[in-house]
């Protein structure tokens, strides 16, 4: 047992980052590594409470191979963690010192706890500097698209050549920018830091990302939740990026858990028995991730649109939703849950399409199950992902807003009919599914890449 690598894994504190890094951690454990998974205290509480009862059923062996640890994020108990500008500021000021304490404490306890590696989210890349102080080698993992990674990697040179100013907010007069001949042009207005709600947030996030970029050269391991078939252009532009996707949960009984570890909310497993009662290929799955908020007017239009489609739907509405249902919603033939086991849902034969915010994890899970998309992005990189799903992969449609900036109930009905009436979209989705899943079978490209990484850890 002495040659077991102990790896510290550090996700950026958001559900869309914690999830894929937890999946990667479980894969490392399956391959004989020990993992110390470090969440912020705020996220740690959520993660632990969401799998409450199942904690005790988890096999002891895995508990000894994976340890969940927490550090303060620098924000007060009542402060808003969805304010990304504020969160990034606090992380930068507080967490490096806190992480040092965690590493010191674990190293003091015993030699078996000596961590020799750090696997940091690209959004926490500064942690590689912390690791270096303790002689730890590192890797970066990016849970979003290689396209976004390539953009982040290019920021210093875009500032240098004047395409961007140093705070990332004022752009050149160009509406589009092409960072490589091998990649599609990007709309400058779609850049993720410009779509975080306001300028101040955007500037802070941009500065934070630039700060993280400075640590990229501390490692030659840049792992990404993608595949060659999905993003050949971005991967040839930044050949250092190693695709290890799709990162999908294994609901393997060996790991002794049917629920997903790493969720912020408890999954409602009744969605599965409800889906079993529906006809194949009829259900709309509607889920907008962990950030999206609607105002009452937009919420009403969506609810009424779902009723108008006259189809069964499974709609995920988080517990923090404060909206009232419109009274016409009463007689619907759908099911509403507060959080769903999304990967299981998407693999269910009853699902017809995915009405999604286009977060990258949701995108990967939908594509891996051959499910067509109706795209309703909310912020950040979701805007770019929608364009990619609709224009490049051609496996989805976007919604158009009316003159008041609202997606009307009629538009919802129209797009559902348009998408589900198009056989080509369905066949393209299924072709893509096959390509993606071939990557993670034994001998598949992503599977081999992950094996190379594990081999390096063990050497």
Q: pLDDT-derived band of residue 256, with 50, 70 and 90 as boundaries?
A: very low
Co-location of 443 and 335 in the same domain: no
Domain total in the chain: 2
Q: Which of 173-187, 334-348, 386-400 has the lowest mean pLDDT?
A: 173-187
| Per-residue pLDDT tens over the stretch 238-247 | 999 999 999 9
Co-location of 230 and 295 in the same domain: no
In angstroms, the CA 277 to CA 333 distance is: 12
**What pLDDT is stored for residue 57 in this prediction?**
43
| Per-residue pLDDT tens over the stretch 431-456 | 999 999 999 999 999 999 999 999 99
User: What contacts 407, CB < 8 A, 6 or more positions away?
Assistant: 298, 301, 302, 305, 376, 399, 400, 401
Q: Is residue 261 in some structural domain?
A: no
Q: Is residue 149 in some structural domain?
A: yes
Co-location of 10 and 98 in the same domain: yes
Q: Is residue 268 in some structural domain?
A: no
**What pLDDT is stored for residue 251 in this prediction?**
67
| Per-residue pLDDT tens over the stretch 44-53 | 988 887 755 4
Q: What is the mean pLDDT of residues 334-363?
A: 97
Q: Is residue 194 in some structural domain?
A: yes
Give the domain CATH number at 22. 3.40.50.2000
Q: Is residue 50 in some structural domain?
A: yes
| Per-residue pLDDT tens over the stretch 66-82 | 999 999 999 998 898 88
**What pLDDT is stored for residue 173 in this prediction?**
67
Co-location of 234 and 331 in the same domain: no
Co-location of 181 and 86 in the same domain: yes
Co-location of 333 and 426 in the same domain: yes
Is residue 254 packed enough to be buried (19+ CB in 10 Å), middle (13-18) or exposed (0-12)?
A: exposed
**What pLDDT is stored for residue 53 in this prediction?**
45
**Regarding beta strands 373-375 and 351-356, do their DSSP bridges make them parallel or antiparallel, or are they unpaired?**
parallel
Co-location of 116 and 246 in the same domain: yes
Q: Is residue 270 in some structural domain?
A: no
Q: Is residue 187 in some structural domain?
A: yes
Co-location of 335 and 367 in the same domain: yes
Co-location of 375 and 428 in the same domain: yes
Question: Which tops the pLDDT comparison, 55 or 128?
Answer: 128
Q: What is the mean pLDDT of residues 347-359?
A: 98
Range of the domain at 222: 6-251+439-458
Co-location of 298 and 332 in the same domain: yes
Q: What is the DSSP string of 11-75?
A: --SSHHHHHHHHHHHHHHHHTT-EEEEEEEHHHHHHHHHHTGGGGGTS-HHHHHHEEEEEE--SS
Q: Is residue 271 in some structural domain?
A: no
| Per-residue pLDDT tens over the stretch 25-47 | 999 999 999 999 999 999 898 88
Does residue 127 sit in helix, strand or coil? helix
Percent share of the chain, pLDDT over 70: 93
Co-location of 34 and 181 in the same domain: yes
Co-location of 282 and 332 in the same domain: yes
């Amino acid at each position: 047992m002495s040659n077991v690598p102990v790896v510290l894994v550090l996700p950026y504190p958001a559900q869309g980052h914690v999830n894929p890094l937890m999946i990667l951690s479980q894969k490392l454990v399956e391959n004989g590594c020990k993992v110390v998974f470090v969440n912020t205290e705020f996220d740690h509480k959520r993660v632990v409470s969401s799998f409450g009862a199942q904690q005790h059923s988890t096999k002891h062996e895995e508990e000894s191979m994976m340890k969940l640890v927490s550090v303060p994020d620098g924000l007060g108990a009542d402060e808003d963690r969805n304010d990304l500008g504020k969160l990034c500021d606090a992380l930068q000021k507080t967490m490096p010192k806190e992480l040092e304490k965690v590493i010191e404490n674990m190293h003091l306890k015993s030699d078996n706890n000596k961590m020799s590696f750090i696997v940091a989210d690209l959004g926490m890349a500064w942690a590689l500097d912390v690791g270096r102080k303790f002689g730890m080698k590192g890797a970066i993992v990016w849970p979003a698209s290689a396209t976004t990674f390539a953009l982040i990697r290019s920021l210093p040179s875009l500032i240098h050549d004047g395409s961007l100013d140093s705070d990332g907010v004022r752009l050149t007069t160009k509406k589009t920018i092409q960072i490589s001949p091998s990649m599609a042009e990007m709309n400058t207005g779609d850049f993720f830091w410009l779509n975080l709600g306001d300028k101040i947030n955007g500037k802070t996030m941009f500065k934070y990302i630039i700060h993280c970029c400075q640590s990229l050269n501390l490692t030659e391991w840049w792992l990404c939740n993608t595949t060659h078939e999905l993003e050949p252009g971005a991967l040839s532009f930044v050949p250092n990026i190693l695709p290890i996707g799709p990162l999908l949960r294994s609901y393997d009984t060996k790991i002794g858990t049917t629920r997903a570890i790493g969720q912020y909310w408890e999954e409602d497993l009744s969605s599965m028995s409800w889906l079993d009662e529906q006809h194949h290929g009829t259900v709309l799955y509607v889920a907008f991730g962990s950030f999206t908020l609607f105002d009452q007017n937009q919420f009403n239009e969506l609810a009424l649109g779902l009723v108008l489609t006259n189809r069964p739907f499974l709609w995920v509405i988080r517990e923090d939703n404060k909206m009232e249902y419109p009274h016409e919603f009463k007689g619907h033939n759908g099911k509403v849950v507060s959080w769903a086991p999304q990967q299981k849902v998407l693999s269910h034969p009853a699902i017809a399409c995915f009405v999604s915010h286009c977060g990258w994890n949701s995108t990967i899970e939908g594509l891996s199950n051959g499910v067509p998309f109706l795209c309703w992005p909310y912020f950040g990189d979701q805007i770019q992902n929608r364009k990619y799903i609709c224009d490049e992969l051609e496996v989805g449609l976007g919604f158009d807003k009316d003159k008041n900036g609202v997606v009307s109930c009629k538009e919802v009905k129209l797009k559902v009919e348009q998408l589900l009436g198009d056989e080509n979209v369905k066949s393209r989705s299924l072709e893509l599914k096959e390509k993606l899943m071939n990557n993670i079978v034994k001998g598949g490209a992503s599977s081999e890449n992950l094996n190379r990484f594990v081999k390096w850890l063990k050497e």
